[in-house]
Structure 1
Amino acid sequence: MMINGKKLVVIALGGNAIKKAGEEGTAEDQFRNVSISCEQLVKMNKQDYLMVLTHGNGPQAGNLLIQQEEGSKLVPSMPLDVVDAMTQGEIGYMFQNQLQNAFRRDGREIPIASLITQMIVDENDPDFQDPSKPVGPFYTEEEAKELEKSKGYIVKETRSGTEKNWQRVVPSPAPIGLVEAKVIRTLVG
């Protein structure tokens, strides 16, 4: 698709590109990983593409859900949809910051904006009954079953071949629309 004479490219990064397996997921870890991605995005942009970046947030949402639960003794915890928006803001900020820095190092000032989005889904989507989206850290089967009992988590084996193959899963219904579609069209041009 061409917009204003530029080819539109949509780049999708998974949450695991931002918090890699084996990392704690500190802000420093995630900024470093985002910075590496941004250096590649700057190279792509030299080809005069109009870029839209989208990202996952499974590891970040899982970690924030744990923070919400652990902090709920002191302050109210937020539901999953708000946690999702919080992590979109967090990751959007990291990309906005690091992409601006990468462009400046390349001698260019390119306007960048991040946007929190809301998906429209079917309330009868089967994923609400049988969640499939892994979030947060990996657990042993024993740890996962204990979390299932003690905290009411839904857990599933999401990989094999290691001691810790289990994760919490949450609903991730198939999107049927995007609330901010008109806003994105306006921003893109």
Structure 2
Amino acid sequence: MTARKIVVALGGNAILAKDASAAAQQRALRETARYLVKFIQQGDSLIISHGNGPQVGNLLLQQAAGSSPDNPEMPLDTAVAMTQGSIGYWLQNAMAAELTALGLEIDVATVVTQVVVDENDPAFESPTKPIGPFYNSEEITTIKSANPDFHFVEDAGRGYRRVVPSPRPVDVVEAGAVNQLVNAGVIPIATGGGGVPVVRRGHELIGCEAVIDKDFASEKLAERVGADQLIILTAVDHVYVNFNTPEQQQLTTTSVDELQQYIADGQFAAGSMLPKVEAAIEFVTHRPEGQAVITSLSNLGNFIENGSGTIISTVSTESNIL
């Protein structure tokens, strides 16, 4: 089998369940690493990306609780960079342990990755991504007086949460560095948490208060490094149509045209499966010779051995629903 360049985008369940302690997250990543090394064993070049939603939310809570004039909380772009570093540290150690146990001497390195967004993206005019803690109305008044640019929304009767823009990624600044690492035989961990959102102003990259969807950022990375395959991991083994109904059916192989019709029919939930499907469509559209896969972490072995999962390509297929 010819070696392939594969980007694997880890979902939140690969890192954090109910226990938010460092030890629990390190244990979860050790289990995740056991699945990921299977790609190395079959001779593929691997690039790993991951989410950071719970981790950056917890960090913002910790910062808010301890913020003072002498020790102020950090801005959101810096918090994303901080969690890229912490999760990358845990993951590269977990991968190194699994590789060493298999007798493989392969380096793993975390790249603090900046992802360029367009400052004219309409998302900046309509913040929608909730982050951080819940506040009551009195707390909101105090916070807004100190931060007049902050936006808040009421969240299902539980209080108010700050919302930030979620612009689409335009470019991955360190894509070239990631490719150099791959070419040198290193396994890079990149675009953690969707990457640090930055805008270009002249010769500078300026961090902004935003959160980039990690599936779109992973797609942009896969596109920029010329990956052969983008694998997006989620909680289910396949993409489904008529999900959670008696007519539920799983997609095994499908095409861009078919998925776009399912999107038009409202088949995929906006906050969960839709961005994964849209990212998969973008990847195979920009890399027609490539392939996108949506499946679960626990199904990775079955995918590697039997091709089990939802496989997306640019061509139509005859039998794609089970």
TM band (smaller chain): 0.7 to 0.9
After superposition, the C-alpha distances for 1:73-95 in whole angstroms (9 at most, x for unaligned) are 25121100000100000111111
1:19 is the counterpart of 2:16? yes
Match of 1:52 in 2: 47
Summarize the alignment of residues 80-119 of structure 1 with structure 2, pairs less than 5 Å apart: 80-119=76-115
Please report how far the alpha carbon of residue 148 of structure 1 lies from its aligned counterpart in structure 2 after TM superposition. 4.5
1:188 to 158, 182, 186: 182
Per the alignment, residue 30 of structure 1 pairs with: 25
1:42 to 37, 41, 48: 37
Conservation of the 8 A alpha-carbon contact between 1:135 and 1:169: yes
Larger radius of gyration: 2
Deviation by residue 1:149-171 (Cα, 9 ceiling, x = unmatched): 554562465xx8xx969865332
Contact 2:140 2:160 in 1 (8 A): no
2:169 aligns with one of 175, 179, 188: 175
The question of whether the paired residues in 1 share the 8 Å contact of 2:136 and 2:159 is answered with no
Q: Is the 8 A contact 1:9 1:52 kept in 2?
A: yes
2:24 maps to a residue whose letter is: D
Q: Report the CA distance shift for 1:119/1:144 in structure 2 as closer, same or farther (over 3 A).
A: farther
CA contact (8 A) 1:127 1:171 kept: yes
Q: Distance in 1 between matches of 2:24 and 2:153?
A: 26
Q: In the alignment, what sits opposite 1:126?
A: 122
Number of aligned positions between the proteins: 176
Letter paired with 1:109: E
**TM-score between both structures, scaled by the size of structure 2:** 0.49
Measure the CA separation in 1 of the matches of 2:158 and 2:50. Answer: 25
Partner-residue secondary structure (3-state), 1:6: coil
Of all paired residues, the percent bearing the same amino acid is 44
Partners of 2:32 and 2:161 in 1: CA distance: 26
Structure 2 residues without counterparts, runs of 5 or longer: 145-150, 184-322
Distance 1:47 1:65 in 2: 40
Q: TM-score, normalised by structure 1?
A: 0.80
Q: CA deviation at 1:146?
A: 6.5
- 1:183 Cα deviation (Å)? 1.1
- Cα-to-partner distance string for 1:118-158 (whole Å, 9 max, x where unaligned): 11111122222322334356x6xxx666664554562465x
CA contact (8 A) 1:58 1:133 kept: no
8 Å contact from structure 2 (residues 137, 160) kept in 1: no
Query: 1:69, 1:50 → 2: CA distance?
Result: 40
For 2:175, give the aligned amino acid: A
